[in-house]
């Protein structure tokens, strides 16, 4: 048996173009990296707002083990029954008590160690919800009673808040992976105490867009400074995420490898 565990984490899936990218490319990435565990962020699947049982079931059939979400999950009322009934679909842990769903889970599969998955949401430029740092401390104390392998999806706007969370959790979790801003960052690293970190894993969806939104609508909003109906973009769908290798016994990460597929254009001649 290998001494390491391979985890594939797929960034924010946006609309049907993002689902199509998962349908087309996920299996080949699972096979290529011999991934043991697949975690996907699905908060933007339903035209940018939430995920329902239909999409979740398809993602599980395609190979997902856990689906994380984020603040947009609450904008689709059909997401709430899913959160309430499926413990492998998470919402941010640090929302006030009384909201549907859970913010962490323990995944237990045959011939694999237990894996903890925790989702947190930042507060800077976002809702004034409970503190993600204190929430992390509380949740991780519980998760570490069962496993040292813990993956954190930190759904946040501000890079400084994400980096701070990485340092706060270094050595206590296997990875802190940023989501929400839809642009893959170039700061993937293994922190000194063994925690893999990246500020944002990137968007799985249409890149001929403004973060998944129609370019025309996004430009109208900025140029005219008035509301315009959200319209999903459709073209140039890519799969984005990271591949992690983690020591099964210690929970420390050994490597983090970001990817985007198909690759971004680097030249007008491509």
Omega before 31 within 30 of 0, i.e. cis? no
CA-to-CA distance for 45 and 17, rounded, in angstroms? 9
CA-to-CA distance for 118 and 167, rounded, in angstroms? 16
Output the CA–CA distances (angstroms, integers) from residue 27 to 21, 222, 258, in the order listed: 11, 38, 17
Segment (H or E) for 161: helix 159-169
State both tokens at 79.
Answer: 């997401």
Residue holding tokens 């939104």? 213
Cα-Cα-Cα-Cα torsion 129, 133, 139, 144, nearest 10 degrees, comes to 170
CA-to-CA distance for 6 and 19, rounded, in angstroms? 23
Q: Which residues pair with 238 in a beta bridge?
A: 205
Given the residues 72, 155, 180, 182, the one annotated as active site: 72
Residue holding tokens 């063994």? 194
65 is catalytic: no
CA-to-CA distance for 145 and 140, rounded, in angstroms? 9
Write the DSSP symbol of residue 236: S
CA-to-CA distance for 243 and 255, rounded, in angstroms? 8
State the catalytic residues: 72
């Amino acid at each position: 048996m290998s001494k390491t565990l391979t985890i594939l984490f797929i960034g924010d899936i946006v609309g049907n173009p993002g689902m199509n990218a998962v349908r087309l490319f996920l299996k080949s990435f699972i096979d290529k990296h011999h991934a043991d565990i697949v975690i996907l962020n699905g908060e933007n699947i339903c035209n940018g707002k939430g995920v329902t049982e239909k999409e979740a079931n398809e993602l599980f059939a395609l190979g997902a083990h856990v689906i994380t979400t984020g603040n947009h999950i609450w904008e689709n009322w059909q997401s709430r029954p899913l959160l309430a009934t499926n413990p492998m679909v998470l919402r941010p842990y640090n929302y006030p008590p009384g909201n549907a769903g859970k913010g962490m889970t323990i995944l237990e599969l045959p011939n694999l160690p237990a894996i903890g998955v925790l989702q947190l949401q930042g507060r800077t430029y976002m809702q004034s919800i409970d503190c993600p740092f204190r929430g992390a401390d509380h949740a991780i104390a519980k998760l570490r009673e069962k496993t040292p392998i813990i993956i954190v999806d930190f759904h946040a706007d501000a890079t400084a808040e994400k980096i701070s969370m990485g340092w706060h959790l270094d050595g206590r979790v296997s990875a802190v992976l940023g989501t929400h801003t839809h642009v893959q960052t170039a700061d993937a690293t293994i922190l000194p105490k063994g925690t893999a970190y990246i500020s944002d894993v990137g968007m799985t969806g249409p890149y001929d867009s403004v973060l998944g939104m129609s370019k025309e609508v996004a430009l109208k909003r900025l140029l005219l400074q008035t509301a315009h109906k959200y319209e999903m973009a459709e073209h140039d769908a890519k799969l984005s995420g990271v591949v992690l290798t983690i020591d099964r016994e210690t929970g420390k990460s050994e490597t983090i490898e970001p990817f985007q597929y198909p690759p971004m254009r680097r030249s007008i001649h491509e």
